[in-house]
């Protein structure tokens, strides 16, 4: 194995890591949207229950509070994970750029 193979292999590994991190970030974004919807839905159900529009049910009130709290916890956790993942992606991309800069690239011209 030559010295030139090391940066290329490392770049390939970094690209695979960046792709995996991008998938994690996308999953976090989807969960964040669902968490926000859960918070909004739970708050709306709680409001409807408190106003007595569909009858007053303690179970519905407790359920809506649980949904709101679960949404808040899920939102906070996934926002934090998304930030960490984004930071890791930036670091990996910076390292990849640095490794690409170290490679002695040659311009291939037309030899017609």
pLDDT at 1: 44
Q: When comparing pLDDT for 11 and 37, which is higher? A: 37
When pLDDT is averaged across residues 70-86 and rounded to a whole number, the result is 96
Name the residue with higher pLDDT: 48 or 89. 89
Q: DSSP readout, 5-38? A: HHHHHHHHHHHHHHHHHHHHHHHHHHHHHHHHHH
Q: What angle do CA 25, 29, 35 make, to 5 degrees?
A: 140
CB 64 within 8 A of CB 45: yes
pLDDT value, residue 58: 82
**Each residue of 39-67: pLDDT tens digit?**
999 999 999 888 877 766 788 889 999 99
pTM assigned to the model: 0.78
């Amino acid at each position: 194995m030559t010295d030139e193979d090391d940066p290329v292999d490392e770049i390939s590994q970094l690209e695979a890591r960046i792709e995996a991190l991008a998938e994690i970030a996308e999953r976090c974004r989807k969960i964040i949207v669902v968490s926000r919807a859960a918070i909004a839905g739970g708050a709306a159900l709680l409001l409807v229950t408190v106003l007595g529009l569909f009858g007053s049910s303690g179970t519905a009130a407790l359920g809506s509070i649980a949904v709101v709290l679960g949404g808040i916890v899920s939102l906070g956790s996934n926002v934090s994970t998304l930030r960490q993942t984004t930071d890791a992606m930036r670091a990996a991309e910076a390292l990849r750029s640095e490794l690409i800069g170290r490679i002695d690239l040659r311009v291939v011209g037309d030899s017609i």
